[in-house]
Amino acid sequence: MLSASLTLDPAFKVAPVSRRTFGTFVEHLGRCVYTGIYEPGHPTADEDGFRRDVLELTRELGVTTARYPGGNFVSGYRWEDGVGPRDRRPRRLDLAWHSTETNEFGLDEFVAWTRKAGVEPMMAVNLGTRGIAEALDLLEYCNIEAGTQLSDLRVAGGAKEPHGIRMWCLGNEMDGPWQIGHKTAHEYGRLAAETARAMRMIDPGLELVACGSSGSSMPTFGAWEATVLEETYDVVDFISCHAYYEEHDGDLASFLASSMDMDHFVDSVVATADSVGARLKSRKKLNISFDEWNVWYLSRFQNAEPPQDWPVAPPLLEDHYHLADAVTFGGLLISLLRHSDRVTSACLAQLVNVIAPIMTEPGGRAWKQTTFHPFAQASRYAVGQVLRVESDSPTHETARFGEVAALDAVATHDEETGATTLFAVNRSVDQPLTLTVDLRALGPVRLAEATVLSGPDPYVRNTADASDTVAPRANADVRLDAGTLEITLPAVSWNVIRLIRP
């Protein structure tokens, strides 16, 4: 049995929890849109063709923002195709995913869906095949009230109120050779800066995201951020990070420690951004929009044949997550929260069917993958200030990350209600961990709930027929006495411990 300890103190503040940490991503990819969020004719479809079962699960998941329409898709997308009368919308080849886009669902439908889901829309502009003019057109269409050609087009289409979109991504993964219109850092930096400047002429209050690296293992990582930010520093608010993790060659111990890579990634991008800021003698600090993150078995996708014959909404990237995926995913959430002083926006990629916490059957059921639970719990209970936890944990060796702590944890504390929540992962593949938590600085508290996501088989999955196999259960192995909490965290587990004022 391993043992670890930590101290919770409301004085150890990192930053307020940003609600935008719990964003997600809806791309025109596979079945995310069609038969995912949108399926007219489905038994639960509403008057707009939105699946009510998916809307309900989206609300339960606690999603706060939704990035749209891509992803790789956006770099070949003409937003005008998806507005106006449906019978006049063109069918187009989607080169990114080798599919056919019918454009039956477009911008106004997406914004209407976000209103129903209660989430903030976040838009990406195409800087792959398009540029400044089209970005300005899109902004005019979305955010100008009326009285111009494009705002009147929106009104004529039925969207009377402006969409009022605040957060805009300046392209997607422009460092990736797979991206349509892939650019060098200098080419992209110049285009992003000029696009940002022009967009700010319409609305100086927009929040703009420059593309960072598509992963920390990209050969241009670091240099890309430095060059792009040299050009864009004054005109953007965020630099993006994207990261996906998977278990390689049965190495579960390294996989469970994936948040070490995310920590390093964020720290490196913050350091790079701050060094550019220092060189430019700027007092401004850029934040990170971690606008794609998840567990994704990318190697399986890369080894598969692309779809043939340009199908409409084929099943793509439908990873089926197990318990260990959900525990690793919980570690990634901990990393994002731990960096809340600089990571103030994040998007789980993606929402439905495509590497997603929610799965659907066309015409049938919607159900929760294992990863649904850590996200829903973090979104619900991470409230108030993020607290640094001072922990002392045993360590073990991993092939990818060297020595790692068995315990990974972060906490939040709501000064108003006194509620404190500890999120903790036991990364050990085979040993339970006894955790002793010093709570004295919190004053009098009682245990509201301790839940655990664990099981004898780390590779067990949920299915449509058994969607509750992996779900949080009460952890009875917990004691609270005289300002000290003691709890056992099973091997390969995600844990949520909630304390409230008595």
Rule CB under 6 A: choose which of 21, 103, 172, 379 binds ligand AHR: 172
Q: Which stretch binds ligand AHR (CB under 6 A): 66-74, 224-232, 406-414, 440-448?
A: 66-74
**Least Å from the CB of residue 176 to ligand AHR:** 7
Question: Please, what's the b/e burial string for 362-387 (b: 16 or more CB within 10 A of its CB; e: otherwise)?
Answer: eeeebbbbbbbbbbbbbbebbbbbbb
Alpha-carbon separation of residue 40 from 44, 69, 108, 224, 267 (angstroms): 9, 20, 16, 43, 45
101 makes contact with ligand AHR (CB under 6 A): no
DSSP 279-340: HTT-----EEEEEEEEE--HHHHHHSPPPSS--BS---S----BHHHHHHHHHHHHHHHHTT
Rule CB under 6 A: choose which of 36, 62, 70, 314 binds ligand AHR: 70
Which one, of 161, 178, 181, lies nearest residue 170 by Cα? 181
**Calpha distance 147→150 (Å, rounded):** 8
Could you give the angle at the alpha carbon of 374 between the alpha carbons of 176 and 169, nearest 5°? Answer: 30
Closer CB to ligand AHR, 343 or 348, in the complex: 348
Site string for ligand AHR, 209-248 (x = CB under 6 A): -----x----------------------------------
Site string for ligand AHR, 19-58 (x = CB under 6 A): --------x-------------------------------
Q: Is the dihedral of CA 209, 266, 256, 298 positive or negative?
A: positive
DSSP tag of 57: H
Rule CB under 6 A: choose which of 71, 374, 432, 490 binds ligand AHR: 71
Rule CB under 6 A: choose which of 138, 349, 424, 439 binds ligand AHR: 349
Catalytic residue among 39, 173, 225, 231, which? 173
Closer CB to ligand AHR, 269 or 349, in the complex: 349
**Calpha distance 449→458 (Å, rounded):** 23
291 makes contact with ligand AHR (CB under 6 A): no
**Calpha distance 66→20 (Å, rounded):** 9
Closer CB to ligand AHR, 371 or 493, in the complex: 371
**Calpha distance 200→210 (Å, rounded):** 14
**Least Å from the CB of residue 318 to ligand AHR:** 12
Active site residue 134: no
**Least Å from the CB of residue 155 to ligand AHR:** 31
Alpha-carbon separation of residue 280 from 66, 207, 274, 283 (angstroms): 33, 20, 10, 9
Closer CB to ligand AHR, 349 or 410, in the complex: 349
Closer CB to ligand AHR, 67 or 413, in the complex: 67
**Calpha distance 203→13 (Å, rounded):** 34
Please, which of residues 295-334 interact with ligand AHR by CB under 6 A? none
**Calpha distance 161→112 (Å, rounded):** 11
**Least Å from the CB of residue 68 to ligand AHR:** 12
Closer CB to ligand AHR, 292 or 408, in the complex: 292
Closer CB to ligand AHR, 295 or 349, in the complex: 349
Which one, of 235, 226, 222, lies nearest residue 192 by Cα? 235
Which tokens is 26 given?
């809806």
Rule CB under 6 A: choose which of 53, 80, 134, 173 binds ligand AHR: 173
- By the 8 A CB rule, do 10 and 442 touch? yes
**Least Å from the CB of residue 304 to ligand AHR:** 14
Please, which of residues 430-459 interact with ligand AHR by CB under 6 A? none
Rule CB under 6 A: choose which of 18, 99, 195, 350 binds ligand AHR: 350
292 makes contact with ligand AHR (CB under 6 A): yes
Active site residue 47: no
Decide: helix, strand or coil at residue 150.
helix
| Residue type for position 139 | L
HEC-encoded secondary structure of 247-277: CCCCCHHHHHCCHHHHHHHHHHHHHHHHHHH
Rule CB under 6 A: choose which of 7, 21, 64, 72 binds ligand AHR: 72
Q: Which stretch binds ligand AHR (CB under 6 A): 16-24, 70-78, 141-149, 266-274?
A: 70-78
- By the 8 A CB rule, do 321 and 369 touch? yes
Q: Identify the bridge partners of residue 450 per DSSP, sorted by sequence position.
A: 497
**Calpha distance 65→124 (Å, rounded):** 13
**Least Å from the CB of residue 98 to ligand AHR:** 13
Residue nearest to ligand AHR (CB): 71
Closer CB to ligand AHR, 7 or 353, in the complex: 353
Closer CB to ligand AHR, 241 or 378, in the complex: 241
Known catalytic residues are 173, 292
Site residues for ligand AHR per CB under 6 A: 27, 70-72, 172-173, 214, 292, 349-350
